[in-house]
C-alpha cells in the first residue's frame, strides 16, 4: 500500500515565485490531506502571516520557513530555514536588502539576454511578480510570453540555468551567512535540492558552516539519488528533510503537494532541533 503524504517542508506562494496566494496554498494543503507543511518562499517571509491566519482557521499546522539564496565558493546554493521565528525585525531588514539584490540581478539577466540579441523589458519581468520577490521564473515567463522559448523548462535549459548564457549568480550572501541567519531566527538550516549542486563532494564541507539538515527527498531526486543523500545525511549527522518544492500546477492539474517519504519521526526530529 502506498504511503499517504502527511508533510511537505518546501512550498512557494505568490510572495516569491509561486502561483498560489498564501491563503490558496493552505487550502490546497488541506485538500491534499497534509498534517503539516512549510511555506518557504525565496528570500522573503511576507506570505507567512496570511498563510498562518488561514491555517489557524482550517486547524492545520503551518511551519514558518524561508528559502535563502546564497553562495558556497563558486556554487550557487539554496538553504531552507524551517521553524523560524519569522517576526524578528532584523529578518525583515535582511530580506529587504535581498530584494534589492534580486532587482539588480534581473537587470543584469536582461542585459545578458540583450547581448544575445534577445530584447525583453525588465519592467515586464517585475510585472510578473504580483507582490513578492522577483526571480528567474519571472524572466522565464516573459521569454515564453514573447515566443523566445516554448516552455519555462526550455528557458532555464537554454538561458537561465546555472552556467547558461544569461545566468547571474547571487552576490554577497554566503552559505555561512544564510545558516547564521536561519539559526539566529531559531530555525533549522537545510540544504535545498542538493542534486542541483552537481557536485556532492561539496556537501561535507558545508557542515563546517553550520548546516543542520539536507533535503533528501525532492521531486528532482531519483529514488537512487534520495538513497544516496539519506546515507550521506546519516554519515554527516544531518537531519533528512523533504518537500515537493511546489510552485505551480501544470496543464490545469490540481496542485501536487506532499512528500510521501518524509516520515512523522523525521518531521518531529526537525521540529525538536529548532530553538
Sign of the C-alpha dihedral computed for residues 50, 51, 56 and 58 taken in this order: positive
pLDDT tens for each residue of 116-152: 999 999 999 999 886 667 889 999 999 999 999 999 9
pLDDT tens for each residue of 75-100: 889 999 999 999 999 998 999 888 88
Cell 561535507 -> residue: 204
pLDDT at residue 2 tops 60? no
List every span in the chain annotated with CATH 3.20.20.140: 7-95+171-273
| CA angle centred on 196, ends 125 and 20, rounded to 5° | 45
Range in 133-137, 183-187, 217-221, 245-249 with the lowest mean pLDDT = 133-137
Four-CA torsion 157, 162, 167, 168, nearest 10 degrees: 160
pLDDT tens for each residue of 150-204: 999 999 999 999 889 999 977 778 999 999 999 999 999 999 999 999 899 999 9
pLDDT tens for each residue of 36-48: 999 999 999 999 9
Band (1; pLDDT cuts 50, 70, 90)? very low
Cell 520557513 -> residue: 65
96-160: CATH number: 1.10.150.650
C-alpha cell at 122: 525588465
Cα–Cα distances (Å) from 7 to 4, 73, 79, 138, 260, in that order, read 9, 32, 19, 28, 7
3-state SS assignment for residue 69: strand
Largest Cα–Cα separation, the chain: 54
pLDDT mean over 24-28: 97
Residue 18 has φ and ψ, to the nearest 5°, of -85, 170
Cell 543542520 -> residue: 212
- Under 8 Å between Cβ of 234 and 2: no
Residue 142 has φ and ψ, to the nearest 5°, of -70, -40
C-alpha cell at 231: 546515507
DSSP string computed for 113-139? HHHTT----HHHHHHHSSSS---HHHH
3-state SS assignment for residue 60: coil
Of 44, 41, 40, 42, residue with least CA distance to 63: 40
List every span in the chain annotated with CATH 1.10.150.650: 96-160
What is the b/e burial string over 100-112, where b = at least 16 CB atoms within 10 angstroms of the residue's CB?
ebbbebbebbbeb
pLDDT at residue 250 tops 80? no
pLDDT tens for each residue of 95-116: 988 888 889 999 999 999 999 9
- Within 10 angstroms of residue 254's Cβ, the number of other Cβ atoms is 9
pLDDT at residue 51 tops 60? yes
C-alpha cell at 221: 531526486
Please give the Cα distance from 43 to 65 (Å, whole number): 10
7-95+171-273: CATH number: 3.20.20.140
Predicted TM-score (pTM) of the model is 0.85
Band (255; pLDDT cuts 50, 70, 90)? confident
Of 237, 21, 17, 27, residue with least CA distance to 142: 17
Amino acid at each position: 500500500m502506498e504511503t499517504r503524504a502527511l508533510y511537505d517542508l518546501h512550498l512557494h506562494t505568490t510572495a516569491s515565485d509561486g502561483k498560489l496566494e498564501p491563503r490558496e496554498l493552505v487550502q490546497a494543503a488541506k485538500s491534499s490531506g497534509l498534517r503539516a507543511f512549510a511555506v518557504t518562499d525565496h528570500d522573503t517571509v511576507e506570505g507567512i502571516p496570511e498563510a498562518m491566519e488561514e491555517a489557524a482557521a482550517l486547524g492545520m499546522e503551518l511551519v514558518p520557513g524561508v528559502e535563502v539564496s546564497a553562495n558556497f565558493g563558486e556554487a550557487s546554493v539554496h538553504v531552507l530555514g524551517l521553524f523560524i521565528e519569522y517576526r524578528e525585525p532584523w529578518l525583515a531588514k535582511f530580506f529587504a536588502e535581498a530584494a534589492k539584490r534580486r532587482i539588480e540581478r534581473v537587470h543584469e539577466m536582461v542585459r545578458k539576454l540583450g547581448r544575445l540579441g534577445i530584447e525583453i523589458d525588465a519592467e515586464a519581468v517585475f510585472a510578473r511578480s504580483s507582490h513578492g520577490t522577483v526571480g528567474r521564473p519571472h524572466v522565464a515567463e516573459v521569454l515564453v510570453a514573447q515566443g523566445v522559448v516554448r516552455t519555462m523548462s526550455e528557458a532555464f535549459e537554454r538561458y537561465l540555468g546555472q552556467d547558461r548564457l544569461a545566468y547571474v549568480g547571487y552576490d554577497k550572501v554566503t552559505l555561512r551567512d544564510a545558516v547564521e541567519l536561519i539559526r539566529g531566527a531559531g530555525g533549522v538550516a537545510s540544504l535545498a535540492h542538493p542534486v542541483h549542486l552537481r557536485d556532492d563532494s561539496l556537501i561535507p564541507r558545508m557542515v563546517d558552516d553550520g548546516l543542520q539538515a539536507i533535503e533528501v527527498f525532492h521531486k528532482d531526486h531519483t529514488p537512487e539519488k534520495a538513497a544516496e543523500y539519506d546515507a550521506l545525511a546519516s554519515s554527516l549527522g544531518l537531519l533528512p528533510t523533504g518537500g515537493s518544492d511546489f510552485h505551480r500546477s501544470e496543464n490545469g492539474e490540481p496542485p501536487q503537494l506532499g512528500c510521501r517519504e518524509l516520515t512523522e519521526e523525521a518531521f518531529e526530529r526537525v521540529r525538536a532541533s529548532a530553538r
